[in-house]
């Protein structure tokens, strides 16, 4: 039987909890140790888990391990995706890259910068939007700072259209979508319009860093 609490990285095993064959008991301190190791593997030895970020990491861990009791306390719906917001450099992208690794038996998502999707649209057109209307799980990074798409002289709010498609997938087939953004709800609505914003409320749980969170890139 596969033990979901044991994760092997470079021939070393990390225990992030205990498993009795039926129930998993995760250990947040052990998860933090693993995330620090995995972060250094992914981003270099300068990577660090900051103590000030522990509360938001804990909230996200509750979501990913499907801890229903704590999700309910935090008003998080485990059936919806995550929209992780916060100021530039606070670590949103890094966390979304790392956290899927603590649940290796769950279907993984692909993280892709929103601006790259728009560049693809500019090159090949509306097939790009169709390509993201599939059953793959995605995390759209930096939602809201991508440029407006343009193909053969016609402008298109590419990510807005993709979010509408992803909402249909969620409603009809329970396909999750995640995202990160530097923008607040009002700014997203100004960018994508009220129709898309209302769909985003159904599509995502909003989890936000404090606006005073430090820029880790400095």
Q: Please report which confidence band the pLDDT of residue 147 belongs to, taking 50, 70 and 90 as the band edges.
A: very high
Averaged over 83-98, what is the pLDDT? 95
Averaged over 171-186, what is the pLDDT? 94
Alpha carbon distance 34, 122 (integer Å): 40
Q: Is 70 exceeded by the pLDDT of residue 1? A: no
23: left (phi over 0), alpha (psi -120 to 50) or beta: beta
Q: Please report which confidence band the pLDDT of residue 12 belongs to, taking 50, 70 and 90 as the band edges.
A: very high
Return the pLDDT at 4. Answer: 87
Least Cα distance to 74 among 87, 83, 64, 62 occurs for 62
* Alpha-carbon separation of residue 89 from 180, 208, 213, 218 (angstroms): 12, 13, 9, 8
Alpha carbon distance 92, 134 (integer Å): 25
Q: Is 90 exceeded by the pLDDT of residue 109? A: yes
Q: What is the pTM of this model?
A: 0.94
Alpha carbon distance 209, 95 (integer Å): 12
Return the pLDDT at 212. Answer: 81
Q: Please report which confidence band the pLDDT of residue 161 belongs to, taking 50, 70 and 90 as the band edges.
A: very high
Q: What are the structural domains, with CATH classification, of the chain?
A: 79-208 (3.40.50.300)
């Amino acid at each position: 039987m596969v033990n979901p609490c044991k994760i092997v990285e470079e021939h070393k095993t990390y225990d992030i909890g205990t498993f009795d064959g039926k129930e998993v008991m995760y250990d947040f301190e052990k998860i933090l140790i693993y995330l620090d190791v995995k972060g250094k593997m992914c981003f270099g030895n300068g990577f660090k888990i900051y103590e000030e970020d522990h509360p938001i990491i804990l909230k996200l861990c509750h979501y990913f391990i499907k801890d229903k009791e704590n999700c309910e306390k935090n008003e998080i719906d485990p059936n919806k995706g995550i929209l992780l917001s916060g100021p530039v450099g606070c670590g949103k992208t890094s966390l979304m890259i790392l956290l899927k690794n603590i649940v290796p038996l769950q279907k993984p998502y692909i993280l892709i910068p929103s601006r790259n999707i728009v560049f693809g649209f500019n090159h090949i057109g509306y097939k790009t939007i169709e390509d993201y209307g599939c059953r793959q799980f995605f995390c759209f990074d930096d939602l809201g700072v991508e440029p407006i798409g343009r193909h053969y002289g016609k402008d298109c709010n590419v990510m807005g259209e993709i979010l509408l498609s992803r909402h249909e997938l969620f409603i009809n087939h329970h396909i999750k979508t995640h995202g990160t953004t530097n923008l607040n709800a009002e700014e997203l609505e100004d960018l994508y319009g009220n129709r898309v914003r209302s769909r985003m409320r159904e599509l995502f749980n909003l989890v936000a860093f404090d606006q005073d969170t430090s820029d880790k890139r400095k």
